[in-house]
Structure 1
Amino acid sequence: MIAIDLIGIGTGNPDHLTGAAVRAMNAADLILLPRKGDAKADLIDLRRGICAAVLTGATRVVEFDLPVRDGREDYLGAVRDWHDAIAGAWAAAITAHLPGGGRCALLVWGDPSLYDSSLRIVDRLRDSDMDIELRVVPGITAIQALTAAHTIPLNNLADPVLITTGRRLREGGWPDGVDTVVAMLDSGCAFERLDPAGLHIWWGAYLGMAQEALVEGSLAVAGPRIAALRADLRARHSWIMDIYLIRKDIHVG
């Protein structure tokens, strides 16, 4: 039996770990850390730092190379194939380092339930007949970190919120029926495709980290500032994690 813990670790700051996350990490026999290439070396360094900060026992930490996603036009097909490859990498590492079974933990940015595919990858392991017991330890999401950094509520009073991706916002424009949109996984400033009239944006990058950057204002004014700053930060750090909230008007209450 392999017990797998998917542990939400927030946005990279060890202070974002819950008590449950710390206990789960220390209870694991093995923690797997993915290497994503030299351009994203800071990401594994953050995970290494989290392990160094909280591990107190004999938990082994093992690194493995994360497969690279195919950049072909068929986005969903490429992602499915990528997940298959990641499941294979997980299975190989678990088999090599826990041949007799045990508890394996994976550290997931934000929360495993929100725009993360770790749960889908575990399903692939189950489909391959691995005997798995799964536990999810929730974490602070990038959405929570963003609204906290800007000291704003997520929603207007009694109003819904749509959480989507930059790709969907770019392709579909402003969605009907909502005044507040949160965009994640936006690699290309999809907000530039929106009519900025009456829209306000709250943007954040590297939330909770030493290099945190925040911009807030009307989309017409703040949008170009964000695009320029984002490009500069990505060039400086070779990677960027950012998120933004856009709201129609600003209601009181």
Structure 2
Amino acid sequence: MKRRLLVIGIGAGDPDHLTVQAIKAMNRAQVFFIPEKGAEKDGLARIRREICEQFIENDTYRLVPFAMPVRRAAGDSYGAAVDDWHAAMAGIYGRLLAHELDEDRVGAFLVWGDPMLYDSTLRILDRLKSQGGLDLAVEVVPGITAIQALVARHGIPLNAIGEPVLVTTGRQLRDGFPRDADSAVVMLDNGETLRAVAEDCDIWWGANLGLPEEMLVSGRLRDVVDRIEANRKETREKQGWVMDTYLLRRRK
């Protein structure tokens, strides 16, 4: 018998981001696997627990916390560092599913944002399935992305009329603003990218979107970069972590 596993997108932080589909899926699950990333990021696990308390209509479900391994510094080999981390996570997932999820039960991972966008859960589960040993039936429930939350909070359309939008990472943007795109959404930035952008751009920035400590800044990049960096530092110092994303658009 296959173990059934739900991978549920829970939005960018606001419990109201949960869709009806996500709430129905959560009420089908009996075991929820809750990642813990140390005391500094306990807020992320706490929000997952609070979402379960708010939306699950029975008291028979079980929370299974697990420690997340720290990914080694990438250096010049980002791909190898990520691959090593995925291998470690696949081992953890395998042990969790084998020991904590009976074959007649439904398990769930609650994924920040949407499972298809810059999240590794699905890749790790695919890796685990390819290794054999566990027969998994995985169902994915989409969620509100940080991109949607960002442009909604700023009250702007994502794209210019008839123009594409590139979704990329801070690491990629440090090599230069792409020539074939005038708009780029940047995720997974460690705070080192904005100073490296040479183009004259407007920016719409948001940190910890949907949470009480949310911060928003917009304007001409060269005019607001100091404020963004100060806000980013303040959020990290207060919360122990910061998740930010931003839209850059060339000025014409």
For the aligned pair, the TM-score class normalised by the smaller chain equals over 0.9
Per-residue deviation, 1:166: 0.4
Report the equivalent of 1:2: 3
Per-residue deviation, 1:101: 4.2
For residues 135-146 of structure 1, the aligned pairs below 5 Å read 135-146=139-150
1:174 to 168, 174, 177: 177
Report the equivalent of 1:155: 159
Per-residue deviation, 1:164: 0.2
TM-score by length of 1: 0.95
Q: Which runs of 5+ in 1 are unaligned?
A: none
Per-residue deviation, 1:100: 3.4
Paired residue secondary structure (1:220): helix
For residues 195-214 of structure 1, the aligned pairs below 5 Å read 195-197=198-200, 199-214=201-216
Q: Is the 8 A contact 2:199 2:250 kept in 1?
A: no
Per-residue deviation, 1:14: 1.1
Write out the 4+ residue segments of structure 1 that deviate beyond 4 Å after TM superposition.
none
For residues 1-253 of structure 1, the aligned pairs below 5 Å read 1-57=2-58, 58-73=60-75, 74-129=77-132, 130-170=134-174, 172-197=175-200, 199-249=201-251
Q: Distance in 2 between matches of 1:156 and 1:136?
A: 31
Q: Distance in 2 between matches of 1:72 and 1:208?
A: 30
Paired residue secondary structure (1:27): coil
Q: Distance in 2 between matches of 1:35 and 1:159?
A: 40
Per-residue deviation, 1:80: 0.8
Deviates more, 1:61-70 or 1:143-152: 61-70
Structure 1 residue identity aligned to 2:155: T
Q: Is the 8 A contact 1:27 1:59 kept in 2?
A: no
**Cα deviation 1:205-248 (Å, max 9, x = unaligned):** 01111111000000110111101211121112110010000111
CA RMSD of aligned residues (A): 1.2
**Cα deviation 1:125-145 (Å, max 9, x = unaligned):** 111211111111000000000
Q: Identity, % of aligned pairs?
A: 46
Per-residue deviation, 1:249: 2.2
Per-residue deviation, 1:196: 4.6
Q: Distance in 2 between matches of 1:166 and 1:100?
A: 41
Per-residue deviation, 1:192: 1.1
Paired residue secondary structure (1:116): coil
